[in-house]
Structure 1
């Protein structure tokens, strides 16, 4: 599955912190039912065997909903389970090396915080950029925030789609209008909510309005 701009509207990053009595697959399916358009599995503590099992389960689930599924950081695991692609940070494998390993048909997302990082990622074959943190976030306490002007400059500098990530909620979403992003990546704004499906549905509506408002302002 290739990466289309419209798939990046509401990008959900999994986090088992809020599973409660649900499985990761059950919680992710609730998000998909609510309208999530892209899923990234992110596991920092899980052992490899269980990570692989969950990745295979989520891959099959996302395929049923025709939503792209990528793995955070782990290029080898993405290959093993035949995920749609991988998302790498600046300290992970460089995009060009990822492309060599995964081949031409997989989706590669790269985190960027500066225009130079964004241009380099594009040059090396990234399909989309995740830029942030645009607001303070507890999921990456050490992540430096990227201001609105930098986000806008990155969007102008590259030809590939850009999504914003980091501390985004329905309440602060409007502040990103006019930046040039085509969507947002969220974790707690969906998965920390008591009703994941409802949270995804409401957030998707807010993203659609924010993107439309930004496009209108640019005309």
Structure 2
């Protein structure tokens, strides 16, 4: 998979009155290089319609498109990848369904889960939640930046830090070793989404240089 820095997940409940496609396009223009559709409440048909729109958008801008949970939808729209959780189908079963080329990402909350994901053939892992977050129901307790440090020491596949990451704590996340971050509300709630993403990228660039 193509490397990435800033990963955005849809969160329509956080930008009432603005279309998902418009918000995500502004995010892409601001520097986001992976978009994930996450919708755990809509009907399958509605999820499919949203995925079709985002697939068109991401193809236009040549950014990676991931679908959360809905393997059938990901296949139907030709998404670049699928993201699953610890309670979803096992990685080997997901790989059988999607084939050898589709990206598979999986959320992890403990080093043992990360090791299993790496050994099971995941293309990348989500590492978190780093901080408390309100953007997901039934979320596990924060794993803190200590988990990032463990990942840095023991895992070789790409990972993205996620969960409660904001501009004010981004440096802390990067100091722990993360070079890829995922944000939801910090991006989609912004009045100017493009400017917000540009600001996040600037912070990342400055911090990377400071740490080098």
> For this structure pair, what is the TM-score category when the shorter chain's length is used for normalisation?
over 0.9
How far 1:212 moved relative to its partner?
A: 4.1
Q: 1:156 is matched with which residue: 153, 156, 161?
A: 153
Q: Which residue of 1 aligns with 2:123?
A: 127
Structure 1 CA distance for aligned equivalents of residues 44 and 196 of structure 2: 30
1:108 aligns with 2:143: no
Alignment of 1:139-218 (within 5 A): 139-140=135-136, 142-214=139-211, 216=212
Structure 2 CA distance for aligned equivalents of residues 87 and 182 of structure 1: 19
Structure 1 pair 86–211 and aligned structure 2 pair: CA distance change class (3 A): farther
Residue correspondences, number = 211
Structure 1 pair 49–129 and aligned structure 2 pair: CA distance change class (3 A): same
Indicate if the aligned counterparts of 2:127 and 2:147 stay in contact, CA closer than 8 A. no
Gaps of 5+ in 2: none
Q: How large is the Cα RMSD of the aligned pairs?
A: 1.4
> SS of the counterpart of 1:177?
helix
What are the superposed Cα offsets for residues 39-94 of structure 1, whole Å, 9 maximum, x if unpaired? 00011211111110110110110111111000011112111111101111111112
What are the superposed Cα offsets for residues 127-176 of structure 1, whole Å, 9 maximum, x if unpaired? 11111010110113532111222221122211101110000011110111
Indicate if the aligned counterparts of 1:12 and 1:36 stay in contact, CA closer than 8 A. yes
| Alignment TM-score, normalising by the size of structure 1 | 0.91
Indicate if the aligned counterparts of 1:181 and 1:211 stay in contact, CA closer than 8 A. no
